[in-house]
């Protein structure tokens, strides 16, 4: 970048590379619309005013011009797409920057997984700002494929495009000052530290924030979220595939609080990304629910840029990077053109850019399961009341239910919707397997299983019979990872995810079609809730209340111990 040349373009003494004229500019600083033109030079905005000379001039004819959208909390692995295909999917939706800690692929492949994604990012018209994964594994009550500690975090914080420490999911470890957790936080001193504080209030919230954690995306209850705002947390309002918090929390976005809020998606499936969009879909829904459109745009531009200390993004201002989007309707946010560093990267929903991407062979053979005999799946009930995991549609929190189940060998009861759940270690062939009971999946026959199982990504399965669960596990071994639906001992639908058991190398459209077919086939097995595979993926996450299942057993998250 030649600063003298940029200055010359700004003062009108030199032609711009690109002039976007007759724009209705969304001014995120003053919350108004400004009719003007924008001059771009070498990927940066040189000025806003009556510019007419440029090597390329595009007349927007009164279309709205907005900063590119920033998704402040997303796990791209949840899309099940190769990073290049992920970019191809979200860029036409106006997303020019994402913030992610990549802890999903890191739990499977360690630093190799991060190198893979960041290597892909170098050739994409999408900023991937990553945060050092703080919880790999998330807790001591599960088995992951890799481990990241304070030493690795210090190393990662020096990598290019690292913006801080990823979500600190081990909130009990923070509150109780566990030495290894404190070491990780200390290693990230001076950096942005992302939060993960489901249900924390009062003194526990104080203790969690005292270490310098100032954001949270695990917000579902109104009063809890109001308290977090009042204590200084940046409130990430989430609307993902299985996490629906926007309607409950939107009322917290007011003229007094908006600057401390942002919209995120956290986890969104490929089908949702293609069909509905990314954070642009959250913006549209917020507008439909009554939020001022400019305010909605500010929550995915200026606010995340300021929180994550990205001073040249999220705004249309001289010196800022020319990550820009256009749309014709302020209510519908019907995105037309997307510019990344001043280059057109999407138009009319069509991606313009590279989509090729190779995958290292070492990331393609990650499912290693100790041979499983049918007898291993037996669950013996020897107590009057047994802890049952009850899922809640639309949320990733679960309820702990103490249920009277006949003593002896457990047999799933489809009438009472009491099904068997298993989590099988798949990284090191240890043979570890946790077995429990789950309520809320509505299966009447068959089983569903997946290697997308936050955050250690072992094999998780729910079924009505051991035979179907066993068939599902074997199908996943054959695919080297993925999602499967089984019935009568056979796989009747599958989605291979051979990259770390999390991602597909195929085009987004093909993956989406396979995923939708999989969910439709799963729906024939009973009365399943919406997004059953997304809900299944969280069964094994022992940092979200109340009850979970890992390869080591049943976890009471409130007590933070294996029970």
Q: What is the pLDDT of residues 110-154, one digit of tens each?
A: 999 999 999 999 889 999 999 999 889 888 899 999 999 999 999
Banded pLDDT at 250 (limits 50, 70, 90) = very high
What average pLDDT does the segment 339-356 reach?
A: 91
Entry pTM: 0.91
Res 391: pLDDT: 93
Provide φ and ψ at 426, rounded to 5°: -130, 10
Q: Which domains does the chain have, with CATH numbers?
A: 67-314 (3.20.20.140), 362-562 (no CATH)
Q: Are 444 and 525 in contact (CB under 8 A)?
A: yes
Q: Are 516 and 269 in contact (CB under 8 A)?
A: no
In angstroms, rounded to a whole number, what is the distance separating the alpha carbons of residues 551 and 563? 13
In angstroms, rounded to a whole number, what is the distance separating the alpha carbons of residues 398 and 64? 42
Q: What is the pLDDT of residues 482-535, one digit of tens each?
A: 999 999 999 999 999 999 999 999 999 999 999 999 999 999 999 999 989 989
Q: Which residues is 346 bridged to in the sheet?
A: 338, 351
Q: Are 451 and 493 in contact (CB under 8 A)?
A: no
> Which residues of 281-426 form beta strands (DSSP E)?
324-327, 335-340, 343-347, 350-351, 380-381, 385-391, 398-404, 408-409, 418-424
Q: What is the pLDDT of residues 8-57, one digit of tens each?
A: 999 999 999 999 999 999 999 999 999 999 999 999 999 999 999 999 99
């Amino acid at each position: 970048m030649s600063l003298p040349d940029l200055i010359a373009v700004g003062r009108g003494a030199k032609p711009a590379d690109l002039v976007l004229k007759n724009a209705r500019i969304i001014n995120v600083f003053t919350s108004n619309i400004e009719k003007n033109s924008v001059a771009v030079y070498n990927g940066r905005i040189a000025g806003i005013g009556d510019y007419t000379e440029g090597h390329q001039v595009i007349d927007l004819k009164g279309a709205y011009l907005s900063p590119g959208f920033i998704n402040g909390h997303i796990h791209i692995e949840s899309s099940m797409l190769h990073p290049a295909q992920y970019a191809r999917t979200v860029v036409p939706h106006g997303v020019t920057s994402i913030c992610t800690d990549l802890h999903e692929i890191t739990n499977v492949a360690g630093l190799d997984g991060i190198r893979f994604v960041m290597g892909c990012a170098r050739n994409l018209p999408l900023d991937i700002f990553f945060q050092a994964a703080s919880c790999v594994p998330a807790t001591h009550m599960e088995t992951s494929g890799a481990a990241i500690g304070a030493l690795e975090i210090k190393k990662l914080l020096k990598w290019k495009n690292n913006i801080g420490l990823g979500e600190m999911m081990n909130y009990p470890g923070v509150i109780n000052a566990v030495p290894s957790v404190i070491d990780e936080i200390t290693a990230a001193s001076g950096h942005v530290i992302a939060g993960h504080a489901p249900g924390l209030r009062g003194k526990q919230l104080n203790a969690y924030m005292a270490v310098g954690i100032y954001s949270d995306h695990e917000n579902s209850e109104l009063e809890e979220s109001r308290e977090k705002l009042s204590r200084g947390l940046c409130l990430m309002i989430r609307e993902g595939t299985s996490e629906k918090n926007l309607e409950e929390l939107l009322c917290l976005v007011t003229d007094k609080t908006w600057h401390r809020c942002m919209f995120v998606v956290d986890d969104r499936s490929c089908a949702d990304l293609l069909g509905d969009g990314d954070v642009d879909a959250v913006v549209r829904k917020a507008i439909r629910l009554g939020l001022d459109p400019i305010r909605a745009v500010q929550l995915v531009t200026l606010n995340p840029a300021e929180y994550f200390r990205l001073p040249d993004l999220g705004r249309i201002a001289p010196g800022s990077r020319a990550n820009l989007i256009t749309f014709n309707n302020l209510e519908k946010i019907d995105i037309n053109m997307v510019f990344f560093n001043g280059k057109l990267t999407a138009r009319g929903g069509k991606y313009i850019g590279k989509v090729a991407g190779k995958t290292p062979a070492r990331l393609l053979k990650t499912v290693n399961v100790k041979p499983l005999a049918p007898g291993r799946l037996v669950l013996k009930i020897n107590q009057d009341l047994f802890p049952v995991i009850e899922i809640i549609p639309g949320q990733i929190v679960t309820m702990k239910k103490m249920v009277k189940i006949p003593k002896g060998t457990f047999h799933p009861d489809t009438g009472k919707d009491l099904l068997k759940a298993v989590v099988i270690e798949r990284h090191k062939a240890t043979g570890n397997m946790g077995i429990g009971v789950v309520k809320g999946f509505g299966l009447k026959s068959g089983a569903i299983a997946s290697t997308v199982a936050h955050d250690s990504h072992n094999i998780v399965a729910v079924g009505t019979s051991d035979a179907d669960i066993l068939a599902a596990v074997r199908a996943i071994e054959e695919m080297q990872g993925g999602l499967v639906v089984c019935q009568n001992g056979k796989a009747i639908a599958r989605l291979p995810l051979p990259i770390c058991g999390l991602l597909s190398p195929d085009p987004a459209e093909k993956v989406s079609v396979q995923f939708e077919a999989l969910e439709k086939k799963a729906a024939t097995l009973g009365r399943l809730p919406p997004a059953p595979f997304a809900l299944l993926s969280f069964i094994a996450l022992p940092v979200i209340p109340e009850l979970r299942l890992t390869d080591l057993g049943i976890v009471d998250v409130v007590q933070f111990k294996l029970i």
